[in-house]
Structure formats: C-alpha cells, structure tokens
C-alpha cells in the first residue's frame, strides 16, 4: 500500500463544496461507496487502504459503523448547503478491505443509518463485497432482510496454488457454497476473478473461468493482476523472486475470458465486467437494438463510475466526486474517526477539475463501456478532416466497430478493449 495520498489542495474543515462547481443543473444520480478497511490477512498483491489491526474509538469492528454514519450526516449537510440535496442514493456499495469482517447487525445498522441520513432510492442496488470464508447462510439472510440486494464474492481463482500465491484464505470449494447461500437469501451474486498471477497457466485460468460459469452468477468480473509498488508482491518482483506479469500473457487470458464467458451466456458491458444475459437480451444485442450497459444484471454501481455520476465515498481513504470537485479522506482509520468525533470533515485534500480534464475523463470512462462514446462528443468526431482520419484509422486497425462508427458511436472491438487507452488518445486528438 502506498503511504501517500494524491497531491491536492487542502479541503475545508467543514467539508463545504463550492456551489459554483457542483454542476447543480446536471441532474446526475448520486451513489454511495462505503469503505470498510479491515481484513483478516493482507494479501501480497493488495495496495488498497486496509488493516489487519483495529484501533478503537470509532475505528474497530464494533464502533466503525458509527464513524461512517457521522460522515453520512456531514455529507447530507454539505450536499444540502451546496444546493444539490437531499438526493437519495441510486446505488450503494460496501467495499474494502473485507466488509463482512463487520458483524451482520453492524452492516445493517450502517445501511439503516445511510437510509435515514442521506436516503436510498426505491429499487436501489445495494452491494456488499465479501470473502467466501467470512459469510454464513444465516448472516447473508440477515443482510438481505436489512436491504442488501447484491453480494460480490472475491473468488479470484479456482486453483489452490494460485489462491496461495495471492494469499487468499478460502478453499475453492467454499465459493459455490457461499453462492448457494446468497441465492437462498434472494441476493444477486457476482464473483470476481484475477488473471496473470505469477505461475498461473492458461489452463489454470480456463479452469477458473469454467468454475465460475458453472455457478451461474449474475455477473463476473475479470481483472488483470497489477503489481503495485509498496506491496509484498511488488517487493518480491523487484527482488527477482517472482516474475512480473507478462502483458502478452494477460492479453491472451483476457481473450480467453471473453471466449469462455461469451459461450456461457455472459456479455461484456465494461472492459472487465460481464453480465449474464437472458434470451431476449441476447437477441436484442445481436440485432443491435440494446446497449450492453442496459443489461438487467449489469452492476449499476460500476456503471455509476463509467457514466460519470456523482458519488460520495465514506470511510478512511475513500474518494468522492461531485460535479467538478474531487476529494479524498485521510487514510488511517484512527485519524478518520478522530476527525469525525470532533465534528470535522475527514477530507484530507482535493481538487477542482477544469473543463479539458472533465472532457477527457468523460471520454476515457465512456469508451470502456459496451455502449461506447458518441463521436460527436469527442474532438476526433467533431473536428473536421483530421478527426475523421483518426476515426477511420481506428476502424481500419480493428479497434472500434465499423457499423457503430458509421452510426456515430465509438464502440470497442475485442482488440480495442486491449488497447482502450490508445483509442481514447486518438479520439481526444492526442
């Protein structure tokens, strides 16, 4: 984990937002992210803001929900003062860390408190990340009763030695058991996979994909391993004890994921995310009449980021994004809880994004989705002959879909998904 927060300007002690920069008239939905920073074991590849220790006084398993709800009360005041509240959340996501380190009744208390302080829209998607070995049938049923609608299990792999290399603590057979419990509780289910682990073969990866599809979850995420500086795995790679991930190997494994998941009835709606489709959805997709992002089982919270919604991140190290403003909280749980106990904002610093940066981010995010980006909203699509040449080049190189480009949208092909950053630069005229 990197010890440093991003550079930014000091943030007001009361958390106030400049009403001129919240883009009040945009009408964007609001999402909430709740960071739970506790884990049983810190995985060697992980650079998230997580801790295996507890720190008391609002920063341990029994008191942490109270700190989150203190920030939620602050968020409600700040949004209202900026002229963009009250606005109930359309999606809520408890991530980590390991949210299920908190007892089910503490998670339910946190969710109830968010509903009381900020509001949660009817029919909202409410997701909880979970390690398969930190849940029970009874606990998942209680979370469903509390209002959680979806659980995302960190499966990562179905191969024991790959799990061991990733420092995962669950056995492969625990995942289908946990998925079955979630189904019995009435929860939608997602599983997360990681490819590119040192020592993982293509057969290993294919076995993990097939194991995931046999469970028929609603949603599967497939992420390439990134070895981050400051992690234990990063140090092992730097010392030559482990090989660095091979980009060509990871590209091959992504192509394998697309093939296996497509054959099993899943469709990509964002580069790393695949949703299970029904016959009607599949037919509409084949006819070009349905954007992949409209799939019923797509994660609406994931789409909140790709669609440039507003979101407020609660918890130590959590990032927030409202209009042209972005900020991030202090990282340490004790510092986070202490600030809130003194009725201060936990924000450490932030930034106001200028118009060119906002435009770049909108294109960069939208181009990753299955519905792509309107060419008219990019410099290449609205910039005369040079722009048309860039778009024609992307089509000729097989990076964006030719038919969709003729209809005015840049939608990535399979090859384009592997080179999405290059496509973004071309569309932006860089």
CA distances to 45, 196, 206, 331 from 233, in Å: 5, 13, 23, 21
Secondary structure of residue 352 in the 3-state scheme:
strand
Largest separation between any pair of C-alpha atoms in the chain: 62
CA distance 267 to 283: 12
CA distance 275 to 291: 12
pLDDT tens digits in sequence order for the chain, 430 residues long: 444 677 799 999 999 999 999 999 998 999 999 999 999 888 888 889 999 999 989 999 999 999 999 999 999 999 999 999 889 999 999 999 999 999 999 999 999 999 999 999 999 999 999 999 999 999 999 999 999 999 999 999 999 999 999 999 999 999 999 999 999 999 999 999 999 999 999 999 999 999 999 999 999 999 999 999 889 999 999 999 999 999 999 999 999 999 999 999 999 999 999 999 999 999 888 888 888 998 999 999 999 999 999 999 999 999 999 999 999 999 999 999 999 999 999 999 999 999 999 999 999 999 999 999 999 999 998 878 889 999 999 999 999 999 999 999 999 999 999 999 999 999 999 8
CA distance 178 to 187: 11
Global pTM reads 0.96
- DSSP symbols for 220-277: EEEEE----TTSHHHHHHHTTSSPPPPHHHHHHHHHHHHHHHHHTTEEEEETTEEEE-
CA 183 to chain centre: 22
**Token representation of residue 318:** 């959590």
Instruction: Say whether the peptide bond before residue 304 is cis (omega within 30 degrees of 0).
Output: no
Owner of token pair 């990282």: 331
Owner of token pair 């179905």: 158
Secondary structure of residue 310 in the 3-state scheme:
strand
Q: Which of 327, 220, 332 is nearest to 273 (CA)?
A: 220
Q: Which of 171, 129, 165, 122 is nearest to 147 (CA)?
A: 122
Q: Is-contact 250 268, C-beta < 8 A?
A: no
Taking the CA atoms of 372, 196, 1 and 69 in sequence, report the sign of the dihedral they define: positive
CA distance 133 to 149: 20
CA distance 206 to 257: 8
Q: Which of 17, 60, 57, 45 is nearest to 232 (CA)?
A: 45
């Amino acid at each position: 984990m990197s010890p440093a927060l991003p550079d930014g300007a000091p943030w007001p002690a009361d958390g106030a937002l400049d009403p001129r920069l919240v883009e009040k008239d945009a009408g964007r939905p609001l999402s909430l992210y709740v960071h739970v920073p506790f884990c049983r074991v810190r995985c060697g590849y992980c650079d998230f803001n997580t801790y295996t220790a507890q720190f008391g006084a609002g920063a341990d398993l029994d008191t942490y929900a109270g700190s989150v709800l203190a920030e939620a009360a602050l968020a409600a005041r700040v949004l209202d003062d900026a002229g963009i509240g009250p606005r109930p959340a359309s999606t809520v996501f408890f991530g980590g860390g390991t949210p299920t380190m908190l007892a089910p009744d503490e998670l339910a208390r946190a969710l109830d408190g968010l509903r009381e302080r900020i509001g949660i829209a009817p029919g909202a998607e409410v997701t909880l990340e979970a390690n398969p070995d930190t849940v029970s049938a009874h606990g998942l049923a209680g979370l469903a009763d509390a209002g959680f609608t979806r659980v995302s299990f960190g499966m990562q792999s179905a191969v024991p030695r790959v799990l061991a290399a990733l420092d995962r603590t669950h056995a492969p057979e625990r995942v289908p058991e946990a998925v079955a419990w979630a189904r019995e509780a009435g929860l939608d289910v997602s599983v997360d996979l990681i490819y590119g682990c040192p020592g993982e073969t293509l057969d290993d990866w294919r076995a993990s994909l097939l194991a995931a599809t046999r469970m028929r979850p609603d949603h599967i995420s497939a992420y390439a391993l990134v070895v981050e500086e400051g992690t234990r795995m990063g140090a092992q790679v730097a010392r030559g004890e482990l090989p660095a991930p091979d980009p060509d190997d990871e590209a091959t494994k992504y192509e394998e994921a697309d093939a296996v998941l497509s054959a099993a009835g899943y469709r990509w709606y964002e580069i790393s995310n695949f949703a299970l489709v029904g016959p009607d959805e599949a037919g509409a997709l084949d006819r070009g009449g349905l954007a992949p992002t409209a799939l019923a089982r797509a994660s609406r919270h994931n789409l909140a980021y790709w669609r440039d919604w507003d979101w407020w991140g609660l918890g130590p190290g959590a990032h927030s994004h409202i209009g042209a403003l972005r900020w991030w909280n202090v990282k340490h749980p004790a510092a986070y809880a202490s600030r809130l106990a003194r009725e201060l904002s936990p924000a450490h610093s932030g930034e106001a994004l200028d118009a060119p940066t906002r435009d770049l981010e909108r294109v960069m995010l939208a181009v990753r989705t299955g519905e792509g980006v309107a060419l008219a909203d990019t410099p290449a699509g609205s910039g005369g002959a040079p722009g048309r040449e860039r778009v024609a080049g992307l089509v000729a190189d097989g990076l964006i879909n030719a038919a969709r480009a003729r209809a005015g949208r840049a939608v990535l092909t399979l090859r384009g998904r592997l080179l999405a950053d290059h496509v973004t630069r071309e569309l932006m005229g860089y």
